[in-house]
């Protein structure tokens, strides 16, 4: 308790000094912390591309810095404090596990704006943002259902958080819709980025007869395996065609640039507010890498049509009739899942075999 009050005092002076410095130089300082290396060619790489896009858009008025490979927990809190102390005006924490650290530090630095990706806790100076990745999953699920010959689709999952479960459900529902014989094999690797584990999982899936692989992990390891073994795969977060020019059917590409530009600009203009942003295909936050040229015309058209209906708002990926895995009704015919339920999704839909790790 004493610690809090002590820090609040010193932080207030530090915060004042920071804002004073910012006015003097007329430069807004933005900082980013990443859970993995920016060289992962996936999730973190894509956030860093967004950062670069923001810097390009705002030019000399902004000065951005990054800290990569920051473990979630005590280290995150230290690095966030360090960034606040060194006078940053806005700090983007790009991994779910930074949530409590962000809130703790934000309390001590009320003048600094914090942005937390994929989290759900907000404060006056903490906004949250995420993308509706599951909309992209619906599209790649459709493609996977059409492209598989063995009717077995592999899924490399990271952690059983709602974002990942949304993706599995969305992909399964839409694969099943175009191919009723389809079967999902899900491997939980308990990591966001571990090339060795991801490659092992891909190999194990291929041995079980899987011929299309999806992943919710950050590196290109599975794509590399898919290329070597001659099966298809989907890039995650970023265009991974370089790792699998023949294997990649398409990739769900996260576009953070426009969001980062808007938010940093809002800080400059003094219009920044705490809010939750959850944009999908329509908002341009979820986009796709060019389709594989081996993908049949009809499949590409079907995928593009689905993208168009999701974009126009005419169709939502979680629309009834849908049952939960245990057979009970989740959504009645035509009923659309509300965002609250989707945001906390913690069950599989009917037809998926296996349990969510407990």
Partner 1 sequence: MFILEKRPNPSRFWTGATPVLAVVLTMIAGGLLFAALGKNPFEAIRTIFLDPLIGDNAWYYRAQLLVKAAPLVLIAIGLSLGFRAGIWNIGAEGQYILGAIFGAGVGLWFYPSQHWYIFPLMIIAGGFGGWLWAMIPAILKTRFGTNEILVSLMLVYVAKNLLASMAVGLMRNPEGSGFPGSRDLSAYPSAANLEIFAGTGIHWGVVAAVIAVIASYILLQRHMLGFQIRLTGQAPRAARFAGVKPERLVVFCMGMSGILAGLAGMFEVAGPAGKISIDFASGYGFTAIIVAFLGRLHPIGILLAGLLMALTYVGGDIAQSNIGLPSAAIQAFQGMLLFFLLAVDLLSNYRIRFNLKEAH
Interface ranges with partner 1 (CB under 8 A): 1-3, 5-7, 10, 14, 31, 37-39, 65-75, 77-79, 81-83, 85-86, 96-97, 100, 120, 159-162, 190-191, 343-346, 357-358
The span from the CA of 344 to the CA of 259, in Å, is 23
Residue whose CB is less far from partner 1, 60 or 314: 60
CB 224, min distance to partner 1, A: 20
Report the residue number, 78 or 181, with the smaller CB distance to partner 1: 78
Closest residue by Cα to residue 146 from 187, 120, 115, 175: 175
Q: CA dist 355 to 187, 329, 346, Å?
A: 11, 18, 11
Which residues are paired to 121 by β-bridges? none
Of the pair 74, 298, the CB lying nearest partner 1 is at: 74
- Report how far apart, in Å, the C-alpha atoms of 302 and of each of 136, 141, 173, 308, 358 are: 14, 11, 15, 10, 36
Q: How far apart are CA 145 and CA 341, in angstroms?
A: 26
Query: To the nearest whole angstrom, how small is the minimum distance from the Cβ of residue 162 to partner 1?
Result: 6
Min. distance of Cβ 166 from partner 1 in angstroms? Answer: 12
| Residue closer to partner 1, measured from CB, 332 or 358 | 358
Would you say 34 or 234 has its CB closer to partner 1? Answer: 34
Q: Toward partner 1, which CB reaches closer, 116 or 174?
A: 116
Shortest approach of partner 1 to residue 144 CB, angstroms?
Answer: 26
d(CA 162, CA 177): 22
Closest CB 145 distance from partner 1, rounded Å: 28
Asked whether the beta carbons of 83 and 91 are under 8 A apart, the reply is yes
Diameter of the chain by CA atoms? 66
Closest CB to partner 1 among 2 and 273? 2
> What does the block give as tokens for 16?
């004042």
Q: What's the min distance (Å) between Cβ of 316 and partner 1?
A: 21
| 65 vs 234: CA distance, rounded Å | 31
- Annotate 283-339 with three-state secondary structure: CCCEEECCCCCCCCHHHHHHHHHHHHHHHHCCCCCCECCEEECCCCEEECCCCECCH
- Residue 161 or 295 with smaller CB distance to partner 1: 161
Least distance between partner 1 and beta carbon 355 (Å): 11
On whether the CB atoms of residues 250 and 289 are closer than 8 A, the answer is yes
Q: How far is the CB of 171 from partner 1 (least distance, A)?
A: 20
């Amino acid at each position: 308790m004493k610690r809090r009050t002590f820090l609040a005092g010193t932080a207030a002076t530090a915060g004042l000094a920071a804002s004073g410095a910012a006015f003097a130089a007329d430069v807004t300082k933005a900082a980013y912390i990443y859970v993995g290396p920016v060289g992962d060619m996936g999730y973190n790489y894509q956030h860093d591309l967004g950062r670069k896009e923001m810097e390009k858009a705002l030019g000399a008025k902004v000065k951005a810095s990054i800290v990569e490979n920051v473990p979630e927990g005590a280290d995150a809190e230290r690095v966030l404090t360090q960034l606040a102390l060194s006078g940053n005006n806005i700090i983007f924490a790009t991994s779910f596990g930074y949530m409590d650290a962000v809130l703790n530090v934000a309390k001590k630095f009320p003048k600094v704006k914090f942005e937390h990706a994929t989290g759900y806790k907000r404060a006056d100076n903490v906004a949250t943002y995420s993308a509706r990745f599951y909309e992209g999953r619906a599209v790649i699920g459709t493609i996977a259902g059409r492209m598989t010959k063995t009717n077995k689709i592999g899924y490399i999952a990271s952690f059983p958080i709602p974002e990942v479960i949304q993706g599995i459900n969305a992909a399964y529902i839409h694969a099943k819709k175009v191919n009723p014989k389809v079967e999902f094999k899900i491997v939980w690797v308990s990591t966001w980025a571990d090339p060795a584990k991801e490659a092992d999982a891909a190999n194990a899936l291929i041995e079980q007869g899987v011929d299309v692989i999806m992943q919710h992990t950050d590196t290109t390891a599975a794509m590399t395996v898919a290329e070597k073994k001659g099966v298809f795969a989907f890039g995650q977060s970023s265009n991974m065609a370089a790792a699998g020019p023949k294997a990649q059917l398409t990739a769900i590409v996260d576009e953070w640039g426009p969001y980062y530009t808007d938010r940093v600009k809002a800080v400059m203009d003094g219009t920044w507010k705490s809010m939750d942003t959850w944009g999908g295909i329509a908002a341009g936050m979820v986009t796709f890498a060019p389709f594989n040229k081996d993908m049949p015309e009809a499949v590409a058209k079907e995928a593009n049509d689905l993208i168009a209906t999701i974009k126009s708002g005419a169709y939502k990926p979680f629309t009834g009739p849908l049952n939960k895995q245990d057979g009970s009704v989740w959504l009645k015919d035509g009923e659309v899942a509300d965002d609250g339920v989707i945001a906390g999704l913690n069950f599989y839909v009917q037809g998926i075999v296996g349990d969510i790790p407990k």
